[in-house]
Chains A and B, each alone.
Chain A
Amino acid sequence: MVGASGTTSDTHVIDELRAVVGQTGLICDPNQMRIYECDGFTVAKGMPTAVVFPTDTDQVSRCVKILARHGVAIIPRGSGTGLAGGCVAFGSGVLVSTTRMSRIESIDLANRVAVVQAGVRNTALSDAIATSGLHFSPDPSSQRASTIGGNAATNAGGINTLKHGVTTNHILGVEMVMPDGSILQTRAKGLCDGIGADLAALICGSEGTLGIITRLWCRLTPKPRYFRTFYAVFESTHDCCKTVSDVVASGIVPTSMEVMDGQMIRVVEDAFHYGFPTDAQSLLLLEIDGIDQVLDEQMRAIIAIAEGNRARNIKQCSDPVRRAELWSARKRAFGAIGRISHSYCTQDACVPRSKLPEVMETVARIGKKYDLRIPNVFHAGDGNIHPILLFDEADPEQVQRILLASKEILEYCIEIGGALTGEHGVGVEKLHLMPKMFNAATLRLFLDVKKTFDPHQLVNDAKLIPSDKLNIELLKPSSMNIPGGAL
């Protein structure tokens, strides 16, 4: 079976790839490849020519050499939980999936470092060292499914990153297959320092545009042992966000501060019955960790701030079962959206935390302007907002409205000193807004850096950096399946 494009040269390439990964290590039947048409950004779809599943670095290297020799576009992919269309083959190209590279190669507890293949799932590593007291700290909501290679490629965040940092803070070194098939190791000994520029940091968050991450040296850190968790509800999102802002300004660094607005509370409550008051307009779920002896004092200070902002129904808990329930509610929030809308588009901007109250008011205003429902559940402590724009995928007019509203929200966030994306990445989704965020010289430098790694621009090309190669016109009518409809 020949892939989506079905040409003779495709057949040659596929035969060569099969010789490397075996019969079961490649699929090219469009029916089988349907789930590889998109990632979590379902607005943008593209059928690959084939998907290969190498099991080690050598196979990745050999596959990349074949694809490079034939000039075939190469798209790295983890488990496909990305939210910006970054691991999708637009036009054509072969997806190189790392999901079968799932070996934890070594765990060194004395030096607090683990060496893993890129396809190891995020939680698999922490599960493997569960009894040690250490863990791999980055905790994106997708952590049960997402791979550590994917987390690194997108520099994933999560709920606990407010205190404990994002993925790049926990990656000591990487091995990457370069676009010519050669293998780069940078800071690959698991040391806590290196000589010269920090290439591992550059590779983290590069969204697979510089090569394919195949192995990582992960920093293991002590798993917090003592917690206090509380939630409070508010009559307005403004008061809730003001509480977040005031806590930040007080100098307290909670582990996490997560906010759900009224729409989201009701969705979650309807779905899972956690006992949240459904008449509330906003809910703050906050956790602190640290030295047991000071947590109560710290929590009292936080509660005083919340009360000063008219919080009600303040509930504290140190019971591990209730705590797990509360966090389960937060982590399942996105899943619950499916009960009220077939399709949704989650935005991801990061704003100065002092501006959260007005940001949320602006998001609500934009929602009204475009007649859209926009529930919010987000990492408020980081200033990382996630407006969830609900729409019907079958209605092109609605798709246009969510894209216009998204653009307006993101442009506003950039204008007030925020970032275009806090943790999801640029992918193809936010390409058109990159010139709003960066000056021309910086964008030119990004492209030059890309070309340094990938002179023939074969690996995940035209993602992350705006160019004229892909006609990304998200707002073009009838562009529902593919951004711009011309990819």
Chain B
Amino acid sequence: MLTATPAIQTRTPDELAAAVRQSRETATPLVDYGVAHRGVGNPPPESHTPLKQCASARGGVIEHYDRDMAIRVASAITVADLHAALRPTGQFVPIDADPDLTLGEIINHNVYGALRVGYGSIRDLLLGLRFIDGNGDDIHVGGRTVKNVAGFDMTRLLVGALGELGVVYEATLRTYAIPEQIIVVDVQLDDPTRIDNRLTDLLLASAAPTAMSIANLTGKWMVRMGYFGKPAGCLAQLRSLETFLDTIPGARIAGHGPMTLDGELDEIHARRSWRRTASSLVKLVVPPAATGKVCWELAETMTGVSIHVAAYPVHGCIFAGGDLNAHETERLGRLADELCVLHHGLRVWYNRPAGAEHLAPFAPPQDDWSLMAKLKQTIDPRWILNPGRLLTPPTEAYPR
């Protein structure tokens, strides 16, 4: 039974630093697992203080360097608010995440999606960070310029660090012009494995998409491509795709059409909404050319269980899950682990139902975890920031 004390809400960096220092002095962990990643990693210590940051004035936008295609924002800004703030300027940050997620949650969990093909992930979009370390010190790294190699790259170090190395309170990001045209294309596939060895060819062809995902959400394997750019370019790419698909047996275009940016982002959100509600959800990362095979195995091997599978094949990232009970979740876990061994991949549980909490949150163990733990010790000597979520404290200071 968790005995969380009332949440601390901070509005300014100074308040945040004070909260961290207070927690350090009282050895009370500060916990922020986000809203969509509560199931990632080990649970928080029994006794902890939830931390919430409030977006500051101006809706969380601190400064928009519109002529430099960059924006400085509070980490508590949500994706929806970020898009809304930028929309009137004709710019956007190509973050592909649920609209209610904060930028801080996206950074902590390295959230990305279909748009990573054309725009990169948050790791590529981040120019600078400000965060409070475990000592309560205010750390500023990176900045607003698009290149910067002064000092250690703590900015990217924190991406995916699960909030264990610092509490991010501000970030500077690249922005892009909202594309004139977006065309989305749904391609039906008989067999997802057919794309595995053609991904490089696709990226080399004029049909290379800006966004790409594959899923079996409707019972059929559908690849969703997005072409962003000038109308003439999108049209040319669509024609190239038609030619390209002629070389893939069992692939056909099921539909295509123009889409606004907001419409496309809404659809992306709708297609990933099952992940928020699934009782069981596991993420696998495999070599990209194994994506289709792993998707197929996940969907077809779990007989008698309805499994949703969605993947970003260019980056080998796969989500699988559904409303499974503990026994079914264990089966899914065994299969995921076997596939990881077979393809030298890795997996992370996002959601586990009651009775399946014992499943190891991460696998296989990575060679660099011991060094990460030493870094954690350096940056957060009292282990108060999301302690034990991934990295094991030197002694089990915090009962779970």
Q: How many residues of A contact B (CB 8 A)?
A: 91
Tell me which residues across on chain B come within 8 A of A290, comparing CB atoms. 229, 233
Tell me which residues across on chain A come within 8 A of B204, comparing CB atoms. 133-134, 222
Within the complex, the shortest CB–CB distance from A120 to chain B, in Å, comes to 21
Given A169-B124, A442-B139: A249 touches B147 (CB 8 Å cut-off)? no
Minimal Cβ-Cβ distance residue in B for A291? B233
Residue pair B367, A350 in contact (C-beta under 8 Å): no
A305 at the interface (CB under 8 A from B): no
Within the complex, the shortest CB–CB distance from A435 to chain B, in Å, comes to 11
Within the complex, the shortest CB–CB distance from A40 to chain B, in Å, comes to 15
Within the complex, the shortest CB–CB distance from B71 to chain A, in Å, comes to 13
A477 at the interface (CB under 8 A from B): no
Tell me which residues across on chain A come within 8 A of B199, comparing CB atoms. 110
Residue pair B162, A196 in contact (C-beta under 8 Å): yes
Residue pair B159, A198 in contact (C-beta under 8 Å): yes
Residue pair B237, A196 in contact (C-beta under 8 Å): no
User: In the bound complex, what is the Cα–Cα distance between A379 and B377 (angstroms)?
Assistant: 39
B203 at the interface (CB under 8 A from A): yes
User: Restricting to A440-468, which residues have a CB under 8 Å from any CB of B?
Assistant: 441-446, 448-449, 451-453, 464-465
Given A186-B368, A194-B160, A202-B157: A446 touches B151 (CB 8 Å cut-off)? yes
Tell me which residues across on chain A come within 8 A of B230, comparing CB atoms. 291, 293-294, 297-298
User: Restricting to A146-201, which residues have a CB under 8 Å from any CB of B?
Assistant: 154-155, 157, 161-162, 165-166, 168-169, 184-199, 201
Among B144, B151, B159, max chain A CB count under 10 A is at: B151
Minimal Cβ-Cβ distance residue in B for A186? B368
Residue pair A196, B369 in contact (C-beta under 8 Å): yes
Given A201-B123, A417-B144: A191 touches B285 (CB 8 Å cut-off)? yes
Minimal Cβ-Cβ distance residue in B for A443? B151
Residue pair B237, A291 in contact (C-beta under 8 Å): yes
A43 at the interface (CB under 8 A from B): no
Minimal Cβ-Cβ distance residue in B for A350? B145
User: Restricting to A215-253, which residues have a CB under 8 Å from any CB of B?
Assistant: 221-222, 245, 248-253
Tell me which residues across on chain B come within 8 A of A384, comparing CB atoms. 147
Q: Indicate with 1 or 0, residue by residue over B135-155, a CB within 8 angstroms of chain A CB atoms.
A: 001111101111111111110
Binds A, one of B28-36, B182-190, B301-309, B342-350: B342-350
B288 at the interface (CB under 8 A from A): yes
Binds B, one of A16-24, A93-101, A418-426: A418-426
A352 at the interface (CB under 8 A from B): yes
Tell me which residues across on chain B come within 8 A of A291, comparing CB atoms. 206, 229-230, 233, 236-237
A353 at the interface (CB under 8 A from B): yes
B91 at the interface (CB under 8 A from A): yes
Residue pair B161, A196 in contact (C-beta under 8 Å): yes
User: Restricting to A351-388, which residues have a CB under 8 Å from any CB of B?
Assistant: 351-354, 379, 382-384
User: In the bound complex, what is the Cα–Cα distance between A162 and B345 (angstroms)?
Assistant: 32
Residue pair B69, A251 in contact (C-beta under 8 Å): yes
Q: How many residues of B contact A (CB 8 A)?
A: 82
A112 at the interface (CB under 8 A from B): yes
Within the complex, the shortest CB–CB distance from B274 to chain A, in Å, comes to 21
Residue pair B68, A201 in contact (C-beta under 8 Å): no
Given A195-B348, A201-B153: A438 touches B140 (CB 8 Å cut-off)? yes
B393 at the interface (CB under 8 A from A): no
Among A157, A169, A445, max chain B CB count under 10 A is at: A445
Residue pair B378, A449 in contact (C-beta under 8 Å): yes
Within the complex, the shortest CB–CB distance from B194 to chain A, in Å, comes to 13
Among B149, B154, B289, max chain A CB count under 10 A is at: B149
Interface of B is mostly: mixed
User: In the bound complex, what is the Cα–Cα distance between A103 and B367 (angstroms)?
Assistant: 24
What total count of A-B pairs have CB within 8 Å? Answer: 269
Within the complex, the shortest CB–CB distance from A272 to chain B, in Å, comes to 27
User: In the bound complex, what is the Cα–Cα distance between A294 and B228 (angstroms)?
Assistant: 12
A205 at the interface (CB under 8 A from B): yes
Residue pair B149, A354 in contact (C-beta under 8 Å): no
Within the complex, the shortest CB–CB distance from A195 to chain B, in Å, comes to 5
Q: Indicate with 1 or 0, residue by residue over B232-271, a CB within 8 angstroms of chain A CB atoms.
A: 1101110000000000000000000000000000000000
Tell me which residues across on chain B come within 8 A of A423, comparing CB atoms. 147, 149
B366 at the interface (CB under 8 A from A): yes
Q: Which of A165, A297, A438, A445 contacts B120 (CB 8 A)?
A: A165
User: In the bound complex, what is the Cα–Cα distance between A350 and B68 (angstroms)?
Assistant: 12
Residue pair A426, B156 in contact (C-beta under 8 Å): no
Residue pair A292, B236 in contact (C-beta under 8 Å): yes
B66 at the interface (CB under 8 A from A): yes
Residue pair B367, A351 in contact (C-beta under 8 Å): no
Q: Which of B151, B158, B233, B345 contacts A197 (CB 8 A)?
A: B158
Tell me which residues across on chain A come within 8 A of B200, comparing CB atoms. 109-110, 112, 134
Tell me which residues across on chain A come within 8 A of B164, comparing CB atoms. 196-197
Residue pair B147, A112 in contact (C-beta under 8 Å): no
Residue pair B124, A421 in contact (C-beta under 8 Å): no
Within the complex, the shortest CB–CB distance from B192 to chain A, in Å, comes to 15
Tell me which residues across on chain A come within 8 A of B154, comparing CB atoms. 202, 445, 449
Q: Which of B110, B138, B196 contacts A439 (CB 8 A)?
A: B138
Q: Which of A166, A249, A419 contacts B69 (CB 8 A)?
A: A249
User: In the bound complex, what is the Cα–Cα distance between A109 and B287 (angstroms)?
Assistant: 11
B320 at the interface (CB under 8 A from A): no
Beyond the given pairs A222-B204, A294-B236, 20 more chain A to chain B contacts, judged by CB atoms under 8 angstroms and listed by A's residue number, are: A109-B200, A110-B196, A110-B289, A133-B204, A157-B147, A169-B120, A190-B287, A191-B346, A194-B346, A195-B362, A198-B157, A202-B152, A251-B91, A291-B230, A291-B237, A294-B230, A294-B233, A419-B149, A445-B137, A452-B378
Interface residues of A (CB under 8 A from B): 108-113, 133-134, 154-155, 157, 161-162, 165-166, 168-169, 184-199, 201-202, 204-206, 221-222, 245, 248-253, 290-294, 297-298, 350-354, 379, 382-384, 417-426, 430, 434, 437-439, 441-446, 448-449, 451-453, 464-465
Interface residues of B (CB under 8 A from A): 65-70, 90-91, 110, 120, 123-124, 133, 137-141, 143-154, 156-162, 164-165, 176-177, 196-197, 199-200, 203-204, 206, 208, 229-230, 232-233, 235-237, 285-289, 315-317, 344-346, 348, 362, 366-369, 371-372, 374-375, 377-379, 390-391
